Amino acid sequence: MYEAYLSKKHDSHNTIHNILKKLFYLIAWGNKSGIDIDSILLTGEMIEPKQVNAFGAWLTQRGKLHADGTISPIAINGILDVVSQAFRWFADQYVSFSGSASEREIHIKMYKDSIKERFSEQCEKSRKKNSSR
């Protein structure tokens, strides 16, 4: 379903593949942590701040321990951005709220702003290499 949305949004198969590849990190973390990511996304349930923090920490740690080399801070930030966008898209589709249409819009906007902020807080600071050494 999300892939179909991405296909309408992006012309490039490679772009879609790269986005889905980044989302795999979320699924892998959820499986390892015993968190049903599919259920959270498909019910429009709010991901908890501690879960976002744990995912960010897991990505950072995985970046340090990855056997094929480290995952750069830029790559980690890209993963966090893609995951944040996916949560916000699923919120638009599945968050339910018993109220008027305008109340629902306000509720969803607040939810999406919260998701964006939570994932932004996990972003890694990338340091530029000092070429004068």
Per-residue pLDDT tens digits for 95-108 = 877 788 888 889 88
**Per-residue pLDDT tens digits for 25-40:** 999 999 999 999 999 9
30-58 mean pLDDT: 91
**Confidence band for 20, pLDDT divided at 50, 70 and 90:** very high
**Secondary structure in 3-state letters for the chain:** CHHHHHHHHCCCHHHHHHHHHHHHHHHHHHHHHCCCHHHHHHHCCCCCHHHHHHHHHHHHHHHHHCCCCCCCHHHHHHHHHHHHHHHHHHHHHHCCCCCCHHHHHHHHHHHHHHHHHHHHHCCCCCCCCCCCC
Residues of the chain with pLDDT > 90: what percent? 39
Mean pLDDT, rounded, for 7-32: 89
Does the pTM of the predicted model rise above 0.85?
no
> What mean pLDDT do residues 64-72 have?
64
User: Residue 64 above 70 pLDDT?
Assistant: no
pLDDT at 95: 81
> What was the pLDDT predicted at 55?
94
